[in-house]
Amino acid sequence: MSARTRVVCLAGATGTGKTAAAIGLARAFGGEVINVDSRQVYQSLPVLTAQPNDGERAACPHHLYGDTPLDQPVAAGDFAVRARACAADIAGRGRLPLFVGGTGLYFRAILGGLAPIPPVPAEVRAAVAADWDRLGPAAMHARLAERDPDYAAKIAPADRQRVTRALEVEAATGRVFSDWHRQGDPAAPDYDVISLGLALPLEELAHRLARRIEAMAAGGAVEEVRAALDRYPPDVPGLSGIGGPELTAYLSGRCGLGQAKSAWLTNTRAYAKRQRTWFRKEPDIVWFGPGDEAGLLDLVGKRLEGGA
């Protein structure tokens, strides 16, 4: 038997049904789910970030969901260390690690495609944060686009955490973020990876996302953001993901709830397109439509048995 740790990676854009598919795989093959979503790591926002609910978590073990305070930034490299340790523990117990999520950069870091980035000095981080506060998102994203156009094209201008992180790294190391992405991590585990993806036509996905946002807004997302704003300023990392700024604008009186939901949907659709573009460039992913559990189970079963 190969000494390499066998893992399943299940990727796809937001709203494509990864949670249900992951549970089906975990039940069939004795697996445990490891989060690979940069929003779902945060505490206090399970509805807003579409984290697995109590019933879904009861169906199989889930790891690295909702365990990070909202005011704590999460670097991809640091998260990869935690995710790899989690996978090692799962595999050591004779179970199958299932990496599941929609953050391509996290997948790349976990699988060794992102070199470890040295810590950024506090004074550099403070200087970049001050520039963001003084100049605003558009100017800071333009600065990033000038210095690192490849990475700037992958992130939204209003994504404070990612824009400032890239600028911090460039200022501290003299190398743009994209260079670190291309280098690779020599210390990465030698995984035997089964790469799966879920996708569907954009028009169908857009309808799904619209329904999901309505359900989130009615199901507690507004109250989650309100409670978070009682404890934290609106620009903390955990509130920077899509839905956070839009609901913050509503709760601060800058727009109505309908406008907030419309902006939330627009930004979510744009994000889903960026996710699709990222994952479509990954050559080893085998793609399935949502609900094709039989196809997923068949492929994984064959691969685990040593087949094609």
Beta partners for residue 224, in sequence order: none
Q: H or E element: which one contains 33?
A: strand 31-35
Between the CA of residue 87 and those of 32, 53, 144, 150, 198, what are the distances in Å?
Answer: 9, 22, 34, 31, 22
CA angle (153, 159, 161) in 5-degree steps: 110
Between the CA of residue 82 and those of 77, 85, 110, 187, what are the distances in Å?
Answer: 9, 5, 9, 14
Rounded Cα distance, 87 and 229, in Å: 34
The binding site comprises: 12-19
Q: Is 90 exposed, middle or buried (0-12, 13-18, 19+ CB in 10 A)?
A: buried
Provide CB contacts within 8 A for 110, sequence distance 6+.
36, 79, 80, 83, 84, 99, 188
DSSP secondary structure code for residue 48 in this structure:
T
| 244 and 221 Cβ atoms separated by less than 8 Å | no
CA angle (96, 97, 99) in 5-degree steps: 145
CA 97 to chain centre: 17
| 2 and 92 Cβ atoms separated by less than 8 Å | no
Provide CB contacts within 8 A for 212, sequence distance 6+.
15, 50
Provide CB contacts within 8 A for 54, sequence distance 6+.
none
The binding site for ATP comprises: 12-19
- CA neighbours closer than 13 Å in the CB half-sphere of residue 29: 29
The binding site for substrate comprises: 14-19
